[in-house]
Amino acid sequence: MPEARQHTQTPQQPPPSRGAAEQAEKDAKETGEAFFNELTKGITAAEPAGDPEVIVAFTLGWQMSELYKPGTWRSRDAKPEDDLPGLGHLGGKERAQLGLKQIEVGLKTLEAKIKDSGLAVPTVTAAATALPTKIPDVAYEKAIFELHVNLLTTLTAAHFKIGKAYGLGRALADTTRLPSDLAALKKELKGPRIANLTAWLSDLTSLFPPHAGHVVHDSIEAWRDWAAGATTDPENKAIPLLRRQGQRWRSLLSGEKNAADALSIKDYVDAGELTITQTGKLAREFIEKYKRPLGLAAFVFCLGLGLVIWDPTGGSLAGGLATIVASLGLTWKGIGASLGTTAAKIERPIWQGALDTQITTSLGLIPGTTPAKKYVTPTPKAPPIPTDNEASTATAAD
């Protein structure tokens, strides 16, 4: 009797086209994940904190302006009372001593840079011996003037960037602190003078804390434009607003205030909308410029996709494409990561620029604008010039 023939059932293999589709789906997912991971990493990467030497030199320039023209000082030193005195209650000599100590601290930070250049570190000894109890005082002003010249020449010789930062601090402080009426304000904010300030800012922007340089640059230009058209100041608000604006500029450039702290949730939403709009505009311009090669690439892609779907042997096509990619030393994940890194390099400046715009608006005190209207200005009766450490009346936006 013939042996019963044993039938072995071979497992059914999926059609080649099905395997190609699954692999294509896997590759697409891997590419997309790598793309978005690199895009997010690039956009959210921490920015440089700024150059400490430049920031210190800028602060020194501002402090020297305050020492030379301090405004209103109390004629008597602080005395014991029910509570301890604040900075605003210190007398003229005590305030000058504080300012000179700040200069000493700044010079200590720059000491190595100055000595490496073979120069002597300036000292405040001569100025300290001329401390006055009342302002104006001829001997005191002469000592501060000589200290300023020594600082300016020494810092510029040691390194041009710190000399320029010192000059910027001094000039920006004078611009915002010295005007006492609208005519003086308009003179300080004239085009040529502002052009120098913004040029120095542009040169040093990358050396200041994140956003600070761009924000102050744009804010200065906004004040320039306002001053050019201003004819009256009926409520006497322009001078106190400019002085408070100067304090905000100083706090950003000196690193005292993080620029992003001025942003609200709505500001971030507005920045996101602006980023999307700008990115879309850039994409449209790119497509318009390269529409022919992009159209050809799209045609080839669609043709290849059609072959994978309709040709039963489409798996060989997908496998061949994978082989070509591998032969170039690439992977789908690597391609996605490279595209994500490239996109981040384009997207990051747009996002940062949108944040700059929102911060400038939030911290601006241009007369007539919403932030300026919300700010409670000090009394216009001969307001004292605020010092670097003097608190002033401000709204919650500060």
At 20 the pLDDT is 52
Q: Read off the pLDDT of each residue in 205-214 and give the average, rounded to a whole number.
A: 93
Assess contact for 103 and 63: CB atoms under 8 A: yes
Tokens of 241: 């607003």
CA distance 226 to 233: 12
Q: How far apart are CA 398 and CA 388, in angstroms?
A: 15
Residue type, 172: L
SS3 74: strand
What are 40-50's pLDDT values in tens digits?
A: 555 555 666 78
Q: Are residues 372 and 244 in contact, defined by beta-carbon separation less than 8 angstroms? A: no
Is it the case that residue 207 has pLDDT exceeding 90?
Answer: yes
pLDDT at 336: 47
44-58, 172-186, 242-256, 260-274: which range is least confident on average?
Answer: 260-274
Cβ neighbours of residue 25 closer than 8 Å, sequence gap 6 or more: none
Nearest-angstrom CA–CA distance, 66 and 193 = 20
CB 262 within 8 A of CB 363: yes
Q: How many CA atoms lie within 13 A of 24 on its CB side?
A: 20
- Res 398: pLDDT: 44
Q: Which residue has the higher pLDDT, 181 or 43?
A: 181
Which of 75-84, 180-189, 292-301 is the most confident on average?
180-189
pLDDT tens digit sequence for 103-136: 999 999 999 999 999 999 999 999 888 887 676 7
Q: What is the mean pLDDT of residues 316-320?
A: 52
Say what the pLDDT of residue 344 is. Answer: 47
How deeply is 73 buried, as exposed, middle or buried, from its count of CB atoms within 10 A (0-12, 13-18, 19+)? buried
pLDDT digits (tens, 9 = 90+) for 6-35: 555 555 545 544 555 565 556 555 555 555
Collapsing DSSP to helix, strand or coil, 293 comes out as helix
Domain boundaries, the chain: 18-47+265-356, 52-258
pLDDT at residue 321, as a whole number:
55
Contacts of residue 319, Cβ cutoff 8 Å, sequence gap at least 6? 20
pLDDT of residue 346: 59
List phi, psi (to 5°) of 136. Answer: -80, 155
What span, in angstroms and rounded, lies between the C-alpha atoms of 122 and 141? Answer: 17
Would you call 91 helix, strand, or coil by DSSP? Answer: strand
The predicted pLDDT at position 12 comes to 52
Which pLDDT score is estimated for 286?
Answer: 56
Least Cα distance to 193 among 177, 208, 174, 206 occurs for 174
Q: Which two tokens stand for residue 48?
A: 């440089």
Distance CA 184, CA 174 (A): 11
Asked if the model's pLDDT at residue 55 lies above 60, the reply is yes
Distance of CA 358 to the CA centre of its chain: 11
Residue whose pair of structure tokens reads 């799209």 in the numeric block: 298
Average per-residue pLDDT for the chain: 76
Q: Which of 63-72, 270-279, 349-358 has the highest mean pLDDT?
A: 63-72
How far apart are the C-alpha atoms of 65 and 71, rounded to whole Å?
11
- Given this model, what pLDDT does residue 41 score? 56
- Higher pLDDT, residue 380 or 245: 245
- The tokens for 370 are 């919403």
pLDDT confidence of residue 365: 92
Q: Is the pLDDT of residue 287 over 50?
A: yes
Q: What is 66-80 written as a DSSP string?
A: HHHS----BSS----
Q: What pTM does this model have?
A: 0.71
Q: Is 82 exposed, middle or buried (0-12, 13-18, 19+ CB in 10 A)?
A: exposed
Average pLDDT over residues 332-345: 50
